[in-house]
């Protein structure tokens, strides 16, 4: 059944997680993600799940990884300073291939910054916070409905790819109340984790691959599971063999990067053959959308690209769409972290203009509109 | 035709700004309208400046936050400093509703779209200062925002179950009476179904 | 009496291990495997979780479920596992550095929550894998590769800490006292809630060499002489205590564990 409700972004994330089948939450209170922690302390026990408040964010993600290895869909929610602590175990989750979801409600930083204020400056931190080479999935919602839909998607993708998936929300979305269509479990397409079916003796946890993703058992199952953050062979025992290491680390990237068409695609608004294209994500995409809509109503010919998957960066699609544009405006509340990515795609820097704001306030439609008009004149 | 109201409620923490915004949004939601609501978040809600912003529209709301309000309700003096840029630059279009006993506008800043009401004292008279925002909601829905009164009452009842709800509904009705006294101001037209913009947006495939 | 079938838990084909000759880790592993076999816990219901460091490699030689995570966090991972799979018997085998330095807060909080975990701390008084630096458990004034003129900091007693934090079972023994070690582990496997068995172990490559304790035989004799039963230790005056460490069972009680507390919580809310 689909129910319509007025919810905040944080509430939508918590309800989505429950409806996606999450039955374990471990977290640590942090503004502006606290409402997720509080709501989960009610929702988890009332749905036969587990809520636990850990001693810090390191332990929170550790407990989430443990629960996931026990066979339960698990997640946590935090903000910048807590995310910094989680980076250690994100690396482990990527290495041992544990499905888990981390909701990062971005706040103003660096460090403690302004706990209650907004920013979009964790784009690079979520991707590169953990050492070592591996791929990772990061999704960015731009509305409360998106908070719901992409949280469900995050669980599906984490189970499908056996990888940590990060939902990059922000302080403005977290406390914004909007109408949400809540599709309940029966209405949702939920991906179920693949389980081994062969003989118990001689089972290799990393031995049978499905689209480069291992079919792994859970702790406590008949098929014995061995996981280690050390480089490991198919058996799950450690190895320092250079060939084993190379194959493992390349597969960790390949299993996601080669299947990008399964990740949420960007949205495009307006004219596809526009001279002027606005690229944005998260709540800034809403300001951009209003600006583009107003401009086009006034006779301008502009288009807008909203990124929904931020990592792996949809380079191919972005480059293809932006190739015809004379000017590309990148709207983001940071110093230009996504803009850097557009340059990496091969778009000439002189075509790019960043609309950046770093005063802890949301970028407004009139700011984007005046930049649009400047570029058009 | 487009019919969008951008409303900001501003006052002191404890006057119920956040919950009043939520009630207004819920009432609009019950009426099948599009709505968004946001509020200041942080230490301010514990006594300092506290604000709540609500957008109600018959069309899709693209940007969910408020740059320039159509209606600005001010219940304490401190708010004038915060909204000076909006009141000065856009004063002609923003309708200012203020508490005439506790938050009269600074001298020389009153334009023809400013209206004073006895908000806080009225709430104290019949319930407590905690009902001030409900009085304001009565004034807003009585004069400007075409929301069904039963929807607002229902939203109040849902936000405050039991006896507190009845007290707050009383405050809301008192606000409606205050509005009735100034009925020549009434400008509201009923909402009609508007254009949906989001259906013009399409997803791409990688 | 023949030995119980401990080999069902040990990956014999992966031996020999990477540990130095004379290291206590293998001895502790065998004691654990024996205790598991005698307690008749099936390998698919046994989880061995390790920290990082020498003792962290124990998991490479077992045939039961095995978890090896990040440095110091093992107890936090296993807390998550135990909450969703309470039927698993979880054993965390940690080193002194892993558990008492970087993992100190998780250790205290796991004991405070009384999570149903058997924690075995193999205390060889230093970080062996990285070259013999001191850990919080290295005794005062001892020589390590980061305290060449004697460790300037006092050490801490993890057993007393576990007691104060709320653990259900706390004991300490050494690699020399093999039978006692197996018995303590077996006893802790039978407990609900958090139990700690601290096993003092020789590090022939660094700690014993730096502090001139002698050959591996002399190291074992050092353990035998220095670690005296807790009853005898408690009768000593403070000056005498300076030269000795205690071994034995410090705490054995049956407070409700985390799972019971949570279960109770749900019932109370429903009422």
pLDDT at B201: 43
pLDDT tens-digit series, residues A238-297: 999 999 999 999 999 999 999 999 999 999 988 777 899 999 999 999 999 999 999 999
pLDDT at B185: 62
To which residue do tokens 């460091």 refer? Answer: C53
Task: Confirm if B172 and B119 have CB atoms less than 8 A apart.
Answer: no
Residue B148 — very low, low, confident or very high, per pLDDT cuts 50/70/90? very high
Least confident interval from A14-28, B102-116, C154-168:
B102-116
Which positions in chain A touch B35 (Cβ < 8 Å)? 6, 178-179
Which positions in chain C touch A98 (Cβ < 8 Å)? none
Kind of pairing between the strands at C227-229 and C89-95: unpaired
pLDDT tens-digit series, residues A64-113: 999 999 999 999 999 999 999 999 999 999 999 999 999 999 999 999 99
Nearest CA in chain C to A23: C84
B14: closest CA among B47, B49, B57?
B47
**For all residues of chain A together, what is the average pLDDT?**
95
**What residue ranges do the domains of chain C occupy?**
6-270
Question: At the top level of CATH, which class does the domain C6-270 belong to?
Answer: alpha beta
CA angle B193, B195, B200 (to 5 degrees): 150
**Over the Cα atoms of chain C, what is R_g?**
18
Task: Confirm if A200 and A167 have CB atoms less than 8 A apart.
Answer: no
Which positions in chain C touch A224 (Cβ < 8 Å)? 43-44, 63-66
Give the residue ranges of chain C where pLDDT is below 70. Answer: 1, 265-271
Contacts of C107 (CB under 8 A, 6+ apart): C75, C99, C100, C119, C158, C161, C162, C165
A120: closest CA among A320, A234, A288?
A288
Residue A142 — very low, low, confident or very high, per pLDDT cuts 50/70/90? very high
pLDDT mean over B75-98: 80
pLDDT tens-digit series, residues A215-224: 999 999 999 9
How far is A244 from A4, CA to CA, in rounded Å?
Answer: 51
pLDDT at B50: 87
A377: number of CA atoms within 13 Å, CB side?
Answer: 6
Kind of pairing between the strands at C133-134 and C118-123: unpaired
Taking an 8 Å cut-off on Cβ atoms, the answer to whether A69 and C67 are in contact is yes
Contacts of C106 (CB under 8 A, 6+ apart): A55, A59, A62, C72, C73, C74, C75, C76
DSSP tag of A192: P
Q: How far are the Cα atoms of A135, A140, A177, C5, C190 from residue A165, in angstroms, in the given order? A: 10, 11, 24, 43, 39
Reply yes or no on whether the pLDDT at B19 is more than 50.
yes
Nearest CB to A177; choose among B22, B63, B205: B22
pLDDT tens-digit series, residues A198-209: 999 999 999 999
C81: number of CA atoms within 13 Å, CB side?
Answer: 34
Instruction: Output b/e per residue, B25-35; b: 16+ Cβ within 10 A.
Output: bbbbbbbebbb
Taking an 8 Å cut-off on Cβ atoms, the answer to whether C66 and A227 are in contact is yes
Peptide bond between residue C16 and the one before it cis (omega within 30 degrees of 0): yes
What is the token pair recorded at A104? 């990062």
Whether the CB of C57 is below 8 Å from some CB of chain A: the reply is: yes
pLDDT at A184: 86
How would DSSP label each residue in C115-183? -S-EEEEEE-SEETTTT-EE-TTSPTT--BTTBTT---S----HHHHHHHHT-SEEEEEESS-HHHHHH
Taking an 8 Å cut-off on Cβ atoms, the answer to whether A228 and C68 are in contact is yes
Nearest CB to C85; choose among A64, A219, A230: A219
How far is A360 from C52, CA to CA, in rounded Å?
Answer: 41
Give the SS3 label for residue C198: strand
Q: What is the pTM of this model?
A: 0.95
Which positions in chain A touch B202 (Cβ < 8 Å)? 267-268
Which positions in chain C touch A200 (Cβ < 8 Å)? 44
Reply yes or no on whether the pLDDT at B182 is more than 90.
no
Nearest CA in chain A to B33: A179
Task: Confirm if A70 and A218 have CB atoms less than 8 A apart.
Answer: yes
What is the token pair recorded at C217? 């035989």
Residue B48 — very low, low, confident or very high, per pLDDT cuts 50/70/90? confident
Taking an 8 Å cut-off on Cβ atoms, the answer to whether B204 and A269 are in contact is no
Architecture of domain A2-187: 3-Layer(aba) Sandwich (3.40)
Nearest CA in chain A to B205: A265
To test the contact with chain A by mutation, choose from B65, B86, B194 the residue with the greatest count of A C-beta atoms within 10 A, namely B65
H helix or E strand, kind and range, residue C251: strand C245-252
The sign of the dihedral angle between the CA atoms of C262, C266, C269, C271 is negative
Taking an 8 Å cut-off on Cβ atoms, the answer to whether A267 and B22 are in contact is no
**For all residues of chain B together, what is the average pLDDT?**
83
Residue B43 — very low, low, confident or very high, per pLDDT cuts 50/70/90? low
pLDDT mean over A157-166: 98
**In terms of CATH, what superfamily is B4-200?**
Pyruvate-ferredoxin oxidoreductase, PFOR, domain III (3.40.920.10)
Give the SS3 label for residue A300: coil
Count of CB atoms within 10 A of residue A111's CB? 8
Taking an 8 Å cut-off on Cβ atoms, the answer to whether A219 and C60 are in contact is no
What is the token pair recorded at C2? 């023949």
CATH 3.40.640.10 fits A265-376, yes or no: no
pLDDT tens-digit series, residues B66-76: 988 999 999 98
Which positions in chain A touch C265 (Cβ < 8 Å)? 45
**What residue ranges do the domains of chain B occupy?**
4-200
How far is B157 from A278, CA to CA, in rounded Å?
Answer: 44
Q: What distance in Å separates residue C109's CA from the closest CA in chain A?
A: 7
pLDDT at C134: 96
Question: Where are the CATH 3.40.50.920 domain residues in chain A?
Answer: 265-376
Reply yes or no on whether the pLDDT at A232 is more than 60.
yes
Nearest CA in chain B to A287: B63
Strands (E), chain B: 4-12, 34-39, 49-57, 71-74, 95-99, 114-117, 202-203
Q: Give every strand in the sheet of C89-95, ordered side by side.
A: A226-228, C65-68, C46-50, C89-95, C118-123, C195-200, C169-174, C245-252, C227-229
Least confident interval from A162-176, A198-212, B30-44:
B30-44
pLDDT mean over B16-45: 87
pLDDT mean over A136-164: 97
Question: Where are the CATH 3.40.50.970 domain residues in chain A?
Answer: 2-187
Give the ipTM of the model, two decimals please.
Answer: 0.96
Whether the CB of C264 is below 8 Å from some CB of chain A: the reply is: no
The sign of the dihedral angle between the CA atoms of A171, A175, A177, A182 is positive
Nearest CA in chain A to B199: A269
How far is A251 from A237, CA to CA, in rounded Å?
Answer: 17
pLDDT at A103: 98
CA angle A148, A151, A157 (to 5 degrees): 140
Strands (E), chain A: 2-8, 24-27, 50-53, 74-78, 100-106, 137-139, 164-170, 177-183, 209-210, 213-214, 226-228, 267-270, 276-280, 302-306, 309-311, 327-332, 352-356
pLDDT at B86: 78
pLDDT at B202: 47
Q: What distance in Å separates residue B58's CA from the closest CA in chain A?
A: 13
A87: closest CA among A126, A133, A118, A45?
A126
pLDDT at B203: 42
φ and ψ at C65, to 5 degrees?
A: -60, 145
Burial class (CB in 10 A: 0-12, 13-18, 19+), C68: buried
Q: Do C and B have ≥3 inter-chain CB pairs under 8 A?
A: no
To test the contact with chain A by mutation, choose from C52, C84, C259, C270 the residue with the greatest count of A C-beta atoms within 10 A, namely C84
């Amino acid at each position: 059944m689909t129910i319509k409700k007025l919810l905040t972004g944080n509430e939508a994330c918590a309800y989505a997680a429950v409806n996606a089948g999450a039955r374990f939450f471990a977290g640590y209170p942090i503004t502006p993600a606290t409402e997720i922690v509080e709501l989960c302390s009610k929702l988890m026990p009332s749905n036969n799940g587990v809520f636990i408040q850990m001693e810090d964010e390191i332990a929170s993600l550790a407990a989430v990884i443990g629960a996931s290895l026990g066979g339960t869909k698990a997640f946590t929610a935090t903000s910048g300073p807590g995310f910094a602590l989680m980076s250690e175990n994100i690396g482990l989750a990527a290495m041992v291939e544990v499905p888990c979801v981390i909701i990062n409600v971005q706040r103003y930083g660096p460090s403690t910054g302004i706990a209650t204020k907004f920013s979009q400056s964790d784009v690079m931190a979520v991707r590169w916070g953990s050492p070592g080479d591996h791929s990772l999935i990061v999704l960015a919602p731009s509305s409360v409905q998106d908070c719901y839909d992409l949280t469900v998607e995050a669980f599906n993708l984490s189970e499908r790819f056996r990888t940590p998936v990060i939902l990059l929300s922000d302080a403005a979305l977290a406390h914004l109340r909007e109408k949400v269509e809540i599709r309940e479990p029966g209405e949702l397409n939920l991906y179920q984790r693949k389980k081994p079916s062969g003989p118990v003796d001689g089972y290799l946890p990393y031995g049978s691959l499905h689209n480069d993703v291992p079919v792994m058992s859970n702790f406590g199952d008949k098929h014995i599971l061995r996981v280690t953050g050390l480089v490991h062979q198919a058996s799950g025992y450690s190895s320092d063999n250079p060939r084993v290491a190379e194959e493992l680390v390349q597969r960790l990237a390949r299993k996601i990067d080669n299947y990008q068409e399964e990740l949420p695609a960007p949205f495009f608004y307006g004219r596809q053959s526009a001279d002027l294209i606005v690229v944005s994500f998260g709540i800034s995409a809403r300001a951009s959308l209003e600006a583009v809509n107003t401009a086009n109503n006034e006779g301008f010919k502009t288009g807008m690209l909203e990124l929904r998957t931020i990592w792996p960066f949809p380079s191919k699609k972005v480059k293809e769409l932006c190739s015809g544009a004379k000017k590309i405006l990148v709207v983001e509340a940071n110093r230009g972290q996504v803009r850097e990515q557009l340059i990496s795609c091969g778009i000439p820097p002189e075509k790019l203009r960043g609309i950046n704001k770093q005063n802890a306030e949301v970028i407004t439609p009139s700011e984007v509109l005046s930049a649009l008009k400047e570029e058009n004149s | 035709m487009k019919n969008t109201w951008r409303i900001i409620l501003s006052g002191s923490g404890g006057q119920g700004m956040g919950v009043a915004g939520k009630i207004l949004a819920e009432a609009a939601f019950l009426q099948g309208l599009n709505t968004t609501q946001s509020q200041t978040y942080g230490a301010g809600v514990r006594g300092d400046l506290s604000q709540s912003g609500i957008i109600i529209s018959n069309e899709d709301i693209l940007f969910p936050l408020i740059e320039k309000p159509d209606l600005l309700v001010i219940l304490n003096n401190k708010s004038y400093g915060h909204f000076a840029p909006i009141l000065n630059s856009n004063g002609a279009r923003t309708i200012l509703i203020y508490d005439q006993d506790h938050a009269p506008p600074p001298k020389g800043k009153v334009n023809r779209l400013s209206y004073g009401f006895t908000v806080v004292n009225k709430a104290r008279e019949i319930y407590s200062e905690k009902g001030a925002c409900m009085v304001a909601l009565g004034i807003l829905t009585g004069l400007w925002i075409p929301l069904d009164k039963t929807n607002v009452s229902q939203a109040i009842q849902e936000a405050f179950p039991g006896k507190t709800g009845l007290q707050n509904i009383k405050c809301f009705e008192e606000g409606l009476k205050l509005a009735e006294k100034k009925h020549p101001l009434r400008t509201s037209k009923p909402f009609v179904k508007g254009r949906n913009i989001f259906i013009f947006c399409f997803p791409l495939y990688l | 009496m023949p030995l119980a079938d401990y080999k069902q838990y040990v990956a014999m084909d992966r031996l020999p291990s990477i540990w130095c000759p004379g290291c206590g880790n293998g001895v502790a592993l065998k004691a654990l495997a024996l205790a598991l076999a005698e307690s008749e816990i099936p390998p698919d219901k046994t989880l061995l979780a390790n920290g990082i460091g020498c003792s962290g490699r124990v998991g490479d030689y077992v045939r039961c479920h095995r978890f090896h995570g990040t440095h110091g966090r093992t107890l936090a991972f296993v807390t998550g596992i135990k909450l969703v799979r309470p039927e698993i018997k979880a054993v965390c085998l940690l080193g002194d550095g892993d558990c008492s330095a970087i993992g100190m807060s998780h250790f205290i909080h796991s004991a405070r929550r009384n999570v149903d975990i058997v924690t075995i701390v193999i205390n060889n008084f230093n970080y062996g894998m990285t070259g013999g630096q001191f850990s919080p458990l290295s005794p005062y004034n001892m020589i390590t590769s980061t305290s060449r003129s004697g460790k300037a900091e006092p050490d801490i007693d993890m057993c007393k800490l576990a007691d104060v934090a709320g653990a259900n079972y706390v004991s300490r023994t050494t690699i020399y006292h093999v039978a006692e070690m197996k018995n303590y582990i077996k006893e802790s496997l039978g407990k609900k809630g958090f139990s700690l068995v601290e096993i003092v172990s020789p590090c022939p490559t660094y700690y014993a060499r730096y502090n001139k304790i002698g050959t591996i035989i002399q190291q074992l004799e050092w353990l035998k002489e220095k670690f005296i039963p807790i009853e005898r230790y408690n009768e000593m005056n403070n000056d005498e205590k300076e030269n000795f460490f205690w071994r034995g069972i410090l705490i054995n009680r049956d407070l409700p564990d985390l799972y019971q507390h949570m279960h109770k919580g749900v019932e109370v809310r429903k009422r």
